[in-house]
Amino acid sequence: MGLLRAGLGAAGGVMADQWKEFIYCESMPADVLACKGSKRTGGRSSNTRGEDNVISNGSVIAVNDGQGMLVVQNGKIIEVALEPGEFVFDTGSEPSVFSGNLGDSIKETFANIGSRFTFGGDAGKDQRVYFINTKEIIGNKYGTASPVPFRVVDNNIGLDVDISVRCNGEYSYRITNPLLFYTNVCGNVTDSYTRDKIDSQLKSELLTALQPAFAKISEMGIRYSAIPGHTTELARALNEVLSADWRDLRGVEIVSFGVNSIAASQEDEQMIKDLQKAAVMRDPTMAAANIASAQSDAMRAAAANPNGAMAGFMGMGMAGGMGGMNASQLFAAGQAQQQAAPQPAPAPAPAPAPAADTAVTGAVTVESPMPGTILDIKVASGAAVKSGDVLFVLEAMKMENEIVAPQDGTIASINVNKGDSVEAGQTLASLN
């Protein structure tokens, strides 16, 4: 009876799995990163007794936008689809009389019955379809529970100091390699794999990576207070730091990194201000201006002294007589420093315009028809010209007039300069 029962079970299982399936995935919520595909079975469907983990040849798998699809057989990925569309499953491992040549399919079906008989009537394989969420996973909050070191560099004043900052905000990531994510993260899940199972690990690694990422940002000369305006560079730096653990191991990459606020401690803020002020005081003129401002404040305070203005000014005089440089001495030192600094070389003087010929050497003269100003000279001595070529542009009565060559020849002399005022009949040039 055992053989008969197994035979009937094998035949019944094979016949139940003859139906082709339509495997799909409903819209994946934002918190679901991977889920197992479902076979569509409506109220009128006859395909209600087939194995859940058996896919018949000719079955259709639908992949939506923002999804990747993996077909896993006996624990091994055998098919991958990362584009939306419908895909027909056909591996020859589970024949169907509804797919391919009918005669061949019937033979393969009976052969499959014999194969299932050895497994007590069950299928000797496990075939599953998994869908991976490839959309951007947004809204992941982070915050530094303890201060993160940040290096402040300001080459203008020679500042190079480490401080501690706290920051908070949100980041987003995307699964860029579904194969790595399935193999190393979610694996053979029975239903779905949600983001809460991995979020704490990702957040911990992200906060650990902030310190080297901040170091890369600091090397670019970006102040910590300006980081909210450079989140693209910070996201790129984080991806570089996390590439081994996220991209190469899990197939995950950061898409964007937002910073709501970033602040240093009051002690570090005050230290930076003091160092900046001290750097400014290295300039004698700036130090003199600061002393002058302090003296002005002191004079106002002395005038308001309840013991009398005279007592206040006597106190100022005693303080000034205790030594140190006063504002006038610092101003003088600043001027001496500026004078001692190398001065930029003066710009070379423009080359003088060629002087006009004083002698008329040509046989034919070109004269000005009216008084005016030479705006432009179009030719030079020795140039060959044809009759009608423009030689000069003369401004007269707020009009530009072209003076042309009266005949063919060679310019023998230019007798005016650009910008000269000329009279009517004055010789402008001569030619041979």
Q: What is the DSSP string of 384-432?
A: EE-TT-EEEEEEETTEEEEEE-SSSEEEEEE---TT-EE-TT-EEEEE-
Is the predicted pLDDT of residue 116 greater than 60, yes or no? no
Is residue 198 over pLDDT 90? yes
Find the range with the poorest average confidence among 61-70, 102-111, 294-303.
Answer: 102-111
In this prediction, residues 402-408 reach a mean pLDDT of: 90
Torsion 410-414-415-421 (CA) sign:
positive
Residue-level pLDDT at 13: 45
pLDDT at 40: 76
1 — pLDDT class (breaks 50, 70, 90): very low
Taking the C-alpha atoms of residue 106 and residue 97, their distance in angstroms, rounded to an integer, is 6
Where is pLDDT greater, at 297 or 277?
Answer: 277
**Per-residue pLDDT at 184 exceeds 70:** yes
- Tens digits of per-residue pLDDT, 9-28? 444 444 444 457 888 888 88
Would you say 340 and 409 are in contact if contact means Cβ atoms under 8 Å apart?
no
Residues 6 or more apart whose CB falls under 8 angstroms from that of 110 comprise none
Of 358, 292, 350, nearest in space to 325 by CA:
292
User: Both ends of the chain: CA-CA distance in Å?
Assistant: 132
Among 85-94, 167-176, 233-242, 331-340, the range with the most confident prediction by mean pLDDT is 167-176
Whole-number pLDDT of residue 229: 85
Winning range, highest mean pLDDT, from 286-290, 313-317, 374-378? 374-378
What integer pLDDT is reported at residue 202 of this predicted model? 93
pLDDT at 98: 41
pLDDT of 244 over the 70 cut: yes
The whole model's pTM is what? 0.54
Least trusted range by pLDDT, from 248-252, 296-300, 358-362, 417-421: 296-300
Let me know if 223 is exposed, middle or buried by CB neighbors in 10 A (0-12, 13-18, 19+): middle
- The pLDDT score that the predictor gives to residue 200 is 92
For residue 346, the model assigns a pLDDT of 63
Is 70 exceeded by the pLDDT of residue 405? yes
Q: What is the pLDDT of residue 341?
A: 56
Residue with more model confidence, 334 or 386 = 386
Q: How far apart, in whole angstroms, are the C-alpha atoms of residue 136 and residue 67?
A: 11
* pLDDT single digits (tens) 14-67: 444 445 788 888 888 889 999 999 887 655 544 455 567 677 778 889 999 999
Contact 13, 121 (CB under 8 A): yes
d(CA 213, CA 65): 33
Better-predicted residue by pLDDT, 16 or 181:
181
Task: Give pLDDT, residue 122.
Answer: 47
The per-residue pLDDT for 65 is 92
Query: 139: pLDDT confidence band, cut at 50, 70 and 90?
Result: very high
Average pLDDT over residues 251-271: 88
Q: What is the reported pLDDT for 360?
A: 67
Is the pLDDT confidence value at 301 over 80?
no
